[in-house]
Amino acid sequence: MLLRLTHDEPRLVALALTYHLGRPGSELDPRTKQPRDNGIAAVRDRLLTHLDAPHADIELDARGYERLLSAIYGSITELRVQHMRGGAKSTVAGFSEAARRLFPQLAADPAFALDLAESLMMLHRRLERAVRRAGAPVAGSAADGGSGSGDGRKGRRPR
């Protein structure tokens, strides 16, 4: 699916994908436990070259879309914790540095982390609405025969 990102959304998505890639084991095949390239790093790297453009288009398959939504939620949690800890560094590799590079005002104002978390939540909602309106199949949805969790675990809610 093709997603068009505008305004600060490319920066927000780049931050979320940095969060995803910084988590140990995030890009391991669940069955073989071997690294696999899901294209998430390439999407993030491409976004980083389009931060000042009026918009950026990214292409994700259903699994990549689910990973992005999960990464957005994880980033929200990291930003909230960073705020509660007075701007302390994240335990996710590269997240704090990327956040300060993408949003320089964060270095001067740790409370800005809450503004970013709110923006990420609004982006998450917008993406879900847009994909639902487009009728695009999502990994784990009933449309592709999955369990609905998006992560291959039957009967459990996604984290």
- In eight-state DSSP terms, residue 94 is T
Backbone dihedral angles phi then psi of residue 2, each to the nearest 5 degrees: -100, 130
For residue range 21-50, what is the model confidence (pLDDT) as tens digits?
998 777 777 787 777 776 788 899 999 999
Say which residues have a Cβ less than 8 Å from residue 18's Cβ, sequence separation at least 6: 44, 94, 95, 98
Across the range 151-156, mean pLDDT stands at 36
In this prediction, residue 125 carries a pLDDT of 96
Burial of 93 (0-12, 13-18, 19+ CB in 10 A): middle
Say how far apart CA 68 and CA 12 lie, in whole Å: 11
CB 43, CB 64: distance < 8 Å: yes
Q: What is the pLDDT of residues 5-21, one digit of tens each?
A: 999 999 999 999 999 99
pLDDT score at 35: 74
Q: Would you place residue 116 in the very low, low, confident or very high pLDDT band (cuts 50, 70, 90)?
A: very high
pLDDT at 154: 34
Tell me the average pLDDT of the chain: 83
Higher-scoring residue by pLDDT: 81, 156: 81
d(CA 74, CA 18): 11
pTM of the model: 0.80
Report whether 64 contacts 40 (CB < 8 A): yes
* Closest to 44 measured CA to CA, from 24, 62, 20, 23: 20
pLDDT tens figures, 93-104: 899 999 999 999
Distance CA 83, CA 79 (A): 6
Please state which of the ranges 70-79, 100-109, 141-150 shows the lowest mean pLDDT. 141-150
